Amino acid sequence: MTEQVDEQRWQLETLAIHAGQAPDPATGAIMTPVYQTSTYVQAAPGDHKGYEYSRTDNPTRQALEDCLAALEGAPYGLAFSSGMAATDMVFKLLQAGDHVIAGNDVYGGTFRLADKVWRRFGLEFSWVDTANPDAVRAAITPATRLIWLETPTNPGLMLADIAAIANIAQARGLILAVDNTFASPALQQPLKLGATLSLHSTTKYLGGHSDVVGGAILTRDDDLYRQLKFLQNAAGAVPGPWDCFLVLRGVKTLPLRMERHSANALRVARFLEDHPAVERVMYPGLESHPQHDLARRQMRNFGGMISLILRGGADAGQQFVTRTRLFALAESLGGVESLIEHPYSMTHASTTASDIAVNPGLIRLSVGVEHVDDLIDDLRAALTGL
């Protein structure tokens, strides 16, 4: 839990650089040391400096947890070894027989974990259109314990109205977990809108440089924090100190990067929308997005993720993803470099045989922070003749 009093007054850009990261008291080192240690010497049994064993706590991890918590206005943060480890820990809060309402457009790995793993342990899932709060309300049963949202969604870039769904969740005493990976805390702060848990794959915008895999959960709820901390220590999905250092280092430039990701993506989305080979562009910053007004209310900016469908359908899409040179064909997102991918066969392959399969013609872009003219030139060249 964060203890620096000044943090109460700091803005996001300052918190990203300083929250949880006072200079090292032993040496004055301005960067948080990488405490590459598994254990801590005790003067007598139980007489220690706050650290016993690094599965439970590690100072580098603590700095990251405090920083991420501060970015979302939360007292509590937990860092995990991956985004999926964080998601798994949320499901571990539940019991066999509990029911979960989840969005029908979510990261393929989230669906796989729910459908192939947690269903075996007795959890039940309803996959609903979370763009429609009434559909969420209608899906509630006496067994419902958790509502799981992605907003914007991966890969459809649809939004969920966090405040409206938080009202529904609060009225029924349900946990509302928001996967905030696509927006990052620089653009959206779900806990301030009433969500119970905000979750991240820190692999993406928080790390920002495609060099680390990690996850995080932030919360204001004392009891849920204690349960999650217990479960994490019991189950062990902790990140190593180097990985925590890399995410901390990435977070320092998060607000700067998100401004450029958003500015570049808006330009790229407008270019694509005007291109004759493109049938449809999904980007919350476009006036044509069906939830553009909600995006303006709920987000500070619109982020770096775009999805599109080509007039030539899936065949043209398959060609397109192999023709770009700057946009590298790869899974993942949120790094400084631009990526392109085909969710149906790549990140969301685990949904293809399900009711929530993604459109085979959908192409997803993670727009990086390169010069936007170079990015548009790359896309224009790849679209020629399709």
| Cβ 91 to ligand P1T shortest distance, Å | 13
* 51 catalytic residue (yes or no): no
Interacting residues of 153 by C-beta distance below 8 A, sequence separation 6+: 103, 105, 106, 130, 159, 160, 182
Q: Rounded to an integer, what distance in angstroms lies between the CA atom of residue 118 and that of residue 125?
A: 9
- Which of 32, 203 has the CB closer to ligand P1T? 203
Site string for ligand P1T, 80-99 (x = CB under 6 A): --xxx---------------
Contact 98, 145 (CB under 8 A): yes
Site for ligand P1T in 187-206 (CB under 6 A): 201, 203
Candidate segments 244-252, 301-309, 326-334, 367-375, binder of ligand P1T by CB under 6 A: 326-334
* 55 catalytic residue (yes or no): yes
Token duo for residue 194: 């009433």
Site for ligand P1T in 260-289 (CB under 6 A): none
Q: Where is 162: in which H helix or E strand? A: helix 162-172
Q: What amino acid is encoded at 331 in this protein?
A: E
CB-hemisphere CA count at 13 Å for 379? 31
Name the catalytic one among 35, 51, 55, 129.
Answer: 55
Token duo for residue 158: 């649809």
CB burial readout 239-267, b (16+ within 10 A) else e: bbbebbbbbbbbbbbbbebbbbbbbbbbb
Name the catalytic one among 66, 115, 179, 243.
Answer: 179
Contact 128, 82 (CB under 8 A): no
Task: Give the neighbor-by-neighbor strand order of the sheet with 362-366.
Answer: 278-282, 305-310, 362-366, 339-341, 328-329
Pick the binder of ligand P1T from 14, 167, 233, 332 (CB under 6 A): 332
Residue 6: which of 60, 76, 78, 66 has the closest Cα? Answer: 66
Candidate segments 127-135, 174-182, 282-290, 320-328, binder of ligand P1T by CB under 6 A: 174-182
Site string for ligand P1T, 145-164 (x = CB under 6 A): -----x---x----------
Pick the binder of ligand P1T from 72, 179, 243, 378 (CB under 6 A): 179
| Cβ 101 to ligand P1T shortest distance, Å | 17
Q: What amino acid is encoded at 107 in this protein?
A: Y
Site string for ligand P1T, 113-152 (x = CB under 6 A): -------------------------------------x--
- Which of 91, 182 has the CB closer to ligand P1T? 182
Q: Is 338 in the site for ligand P1T (CB under 6 A)?
A: no
Cβ-based neighbour number of residue 320 at 10 Å: 23
- Which of 275, 306 has the CB closer to ligand P1T? 306
- Which active-site residues does the annotation give? 55, 107, 179, 204
Footprint on this chain of ligand P1T (rule: CB under 6 A) = 82-84, 107, 109-110, 150, 154, 179, 181-182, 201, 203, 213, 215, 331-333, 347
